[in-house]
Structure 1
Amino acid sequence: MKTTPQTFLKFIAGTAIAAAVLFLIWYFSSIVVYILVSAVLAVMGRPLVNRLAALHVRGWRVPRWLAALVTLVVIWALFALCCSLFVPLVFNKINQFSTVDFASVVNSIGEPIARVQRDLQNLFALSESSFSLSDELTAMFRQMVDMESVNWLFSSVVGVVVSSVIALFSISFITFFFLKDDGLFYSMVTAVFPERYHDNITRALDSVTVLLSRYFTGILSESLMLTVAVTLVMMAFGMKAADAAFIGLVMGVMNVVPYAGPLIGGIFSVFVGIITPIEGMTVGHTAFVIAGSLLILKGLDDFVVQPTLYSERVKAHPLEVFLVILIAGSLAGILGMLLAIPSYTVIRVFAKEFFSQFTLVRKLTEKI
């Protein structure tokens, strides 16, 4: 199809409207996140709601509002179960960090540190009396994890808990009505657009729902598998179950953030191994075991699981996905990388519905 001045103006107008919508989404980002999380939970819980609403008990049919309420309770019960398993591990590890003697930790890896110090002194012509890498590392660790840091962390956790309570109530309230009134989310979105575009919006929302459901279920499955795999491997090397589960949890949670997350999680996991080494192993051996195991497991994950997850599930080329994540990370850091693929998926689906006359759009959306 030829590009005419009218279609070009339509494209410019659509781009301007999209920019305005994106600005409003950014400005009211917390509310938008609540709505999107509620929509995802509603998609996940809708099969259970439909099954419960179809039940008949002695001629009495279960009302949809009750089915929605029961489903919401089940969702949060599963979430509470996960928290009850992992939250104690996190607080136990924070308590361990606050009581660690960092001087003894640094002394336990004295030989590698001494070697690095000698190399630094030779490289920068530093005298032995003016620079001590052991003292610097001890001071740095104490500054990172002293009582003030623990108190600050505790205050931050309290702030997060307060915010989480507000988010929990908001998401629960919105999710209940999304579950109770089937199609409410679609109605909210289509109400923003003129009636002649409602069919396009409905088709786009159908595609977005399918693609994002596949993506999020894939992400959760991948993170759960990585958590279990890391935990079992660490326990196989003799690590205590609590420490192994904590490292597995860190890697599983950080794996949600593409590329950067596992790297940060791996560094933190090695740090945990240095603080609490495996019984019968030196600190250096423990760090090597953790780093090597995570490198192998993440290598398998990156080259076997993620290509299917990031490209097949959202119907995009792996290089395309990588560039989108890279650009989003440059613009908005970790949060941008976290939201890159879902946002790009939504943009592609709506671009296909409204701007399919452009060659670039057809090329980017041909697999959808």
Structure 2
Amino acid sequence: MHWTRYAVGVLATLAGLLLVWYFRDIVGYIIVSAVLAIIGTPLAKLMKRVRVRGRSVPDWLAALVVLLLLWGVGVAMFAIFIPLVFDKLTALASVDFSTILASFEQPLRKLQNFLEEYFSLNVSTISISDTIGAQVERLFNPEKLQNFLGSIVSGVANAVIALFSITFITFFFLKDDNLFLRIILAVTPTKYEGNVKHALSSASSLLSRYFIGILAESTIMMLMVSISLICCGYLPQNAFFIGLIVGVLNVIPYVGPWLGFGISLLVSMAFVGGGTTMTFIVLSLAITILAAQMIDNFLLQPLLYSNSVNAHPLEIFIVILMAGHFAGVVGMLFAIPGYTVLRVIAKEFFNHFKIVRKLTEKM
């Protein structure tokens, strides 16, 4: 009887996971809506406390105003950056990177000779410049860029459906603070309802601080890099495009800053002209991004995140490596919030295990 109950539980769990996978698009809409609701709920609650002629703001009106604000921020960002991104991608498709890389032929040749002479590396049959050139041309292949643009256009219909669904669901999550909780409790055994309520409350609080911190950090990084590059003589549209790249990729832990620097360097070499030397481009970009990362690591992250995740840095590093191994860059992007939710759940339901108590003792 004991094993029968466990077998039924395992089969029910597997059936639930299969349903989630089958309806993964809808589940994704609900998760995104829940995240947006977590971000907007503090503002919605603040609006509900406002009294006009002795009456409080209706729940539907507070939810609608917050939803419009979220839409306004999103539309403003798209209106500013999407045309810029398309313009730069189109321009990249026509850039002759072989000419640009030719200017690095001499220093790359010196590097190759240095490796051959001092490290006894047999690289005489391999040209470093040719290898780098081949990789750059493969990455920025005009046909691939055009296909990428075409795939974006073809996905507009799906994006419209997704945006409408997310907007609709988010409105009701904002209107009714407990709606998501009631959905979860509807499929939760009665004896675990208290644990689920406490877990959702803790997870919402931690994730709210985390996501707001991520948005603020990316925006500040983008502005710092953009303004610094404009001061170095970059054209404003190029500076803001590079700042956008650095700000967006900065949300990927550890790897993001390096990706941002590498892509920004290629973009800079392609678009910064007017007699500007490659040495100046590399130095100005490296110093700008390094300075921004120093400010981010020692000032922004401690101020914005505080104890939002409540985990040891080594613990987070290992989790990010594991997520990157299983799901690549996307896994690294969602590693911290996903691990935060798992720790909250483990603390509520598996706290009798010693390892769980150790991992969650600061929560």
| Aligned partners of 1:234 and 1:290 also within 8 Å | yes
How much does 1:134 deviate? 5.8
Residue 56 (structure 2) pairs with residue 39 (structure 1): no
| Aligned partners of 1:311 and 1:318 also within 8 Å | no
> What does residue 3 of structure 1 align with?
none
Structure 1 residue runs of 5 or longer lacking an equivalent are 1-5
Q: Distance in 2 between matches of 1:121 and 1:149?
A: 35
Identity over the aligned pairs, expressed in percent? 45
Amino acid at match of 1:37: V
The worse-fitting range, judged by mean Cα deviation, of 190-199 and 289-298 is 289-298
> What does residue 283 of structure 1 align with?
278
Q: Aligned to 1:40, what secondary structure does the other structure show?
A: helix
> What does residue 91 of structure 2 align with?
96
The worse-fitting range, judged by mean Cα deviation, of 86-95 and 46-55 is 46-55
> What does residue 65 of structure 2 align with?
70
Q: Aligned to 1:250, what secondary structure does the other structure show?
A: helix
Structure 2 residue runs of 5 or longer lacking an equivalent are none
> What does residue 268 of structure 2 align with?
273
Deviation per CA, 1:303-361, whole angstroms, max 9, x where unpaired?
44446666721111111111111111112111111111111111111111122222222
| Distance change >3 Å, CA 298–CA 278, structure 1 → 2 | farther
Amino acid at match of 1:175: T
How much does 1:39 deviate? 1.4
| Distance change >3 Å, CA 189–CA 285, structure 1 → 2 | same
> What does residue 245 of structure 1 align with?
240
Residue 347 (structure 2) pairs with residue 352 (structure 1): yes
Give the number of aligned pairs. 358
> What does residue 107 of structure 1 align with?
102
Deviation per CA, 1:28-84, whole angstroms, max 9, x where unpaired?
443333212211222333344445556677798764334423332221111101111
| Aligned partners of 2:209 and 2:305 also within 8 Å | no
Q: Aligned to 1:312, what secondary structure does the other structure show?
A: coil
| Aligned partners of 1:68 and 1:176 also within 8 Å | yes
Residue 213 (structure 2) pairs with residue 215 (structure 1): no
Deviation per CA, 1:222-248, whole angstroms, max 9, x where unpaired?
111111111111112111111111111
1:192-231 counterparts in 2 under 5 A?
192-231=187-226
Q: Aligned to 1:222, what secondary structure does the other structure show?
A: helix
Amino acid at match of 1:302: N
Q: TM-score, normalization: structure 1?
A: 0.84
| Aligned partners of 1:46 and 1:179 also within 8 Å | yes
The structure 1 residue matched to 2:362, chosen from 359, 364, 367, is 367
| Aligned partners of 2:213 and 2:304 also within 8 Å | yes
Amino acid at match of 1:349: V
| Aligned partners of 1:273 and 1:283 also within 8 Å | no
The structure 2 residue matched to 1:339, chosen from 328, 334, 340, is 334
Residue 164 (structure 2) pairs with residue 169 (structure 1): yes
Q: Distance in 2 between matches of 1:361 and 1:66?
A: 42
> What does residue 326 of structure 1 align with?
321
Residue 152 (structure 2) pairs with residue 157 (structure 1): yes
| Aligned partners of 2:39 and 2:211 also within 8 Å | no
| Distance change >3 Å, CA 186–CA 364, structure 1 → 2 | same
| Distance change >3 Å, CA 78–CA 307, structure 1 → 2 | closer
1:184-195 counterparts in 2 under 5 A?
184-195=179-190
Q: TM-score, normalization: structure 2?
A: 0.85
| Distance change >3 Å, CA 19–CA 293, structure 1 → 2 | farther
| Aligned partners of 2:112 and 2:123 also within 8 Å | no
Amino acid at match of 1:45: G
The worse-fitting range, judged by mean Cα deviation, of 356-365 and 83-92 is 356-365
Q: Distance in 2 between matches of 1:355 and 1:321?
A: 20
| Aligned partners of 2:108 and 2:129 also within 8 Å | yes
Q: Distance in 2 between matches of 1:124 and 1:242?
A: 44
Q: Aligned to 1:315, what secondary structure does the other structure show?
A: coil
Deviation per CA, 1:203-258, whole angstroms, max 9, x where unpaired?
11110010000111111111111111111111121111111111110011011111
The structure 1 residue matched to 2:294, chosen from 287, 292, 299, is 299
Amino acid at match of 2:78: C
| Aligned partners of 1:52 and 1:67 also within 8 Å | yes
| Aligned partners of 1:274 and 1:284 also within 8 Å | no
Q: Distance in 2 between matches of 1:286 and 1:95?
A: 22
| Distance change >3 Å, CA 24–CA 364, structure 1 → 2 | farther
Q: Distance in 2 between matches of 1:240 and 1:226?
A: 18
How much does 1:15 deviate? 9.6
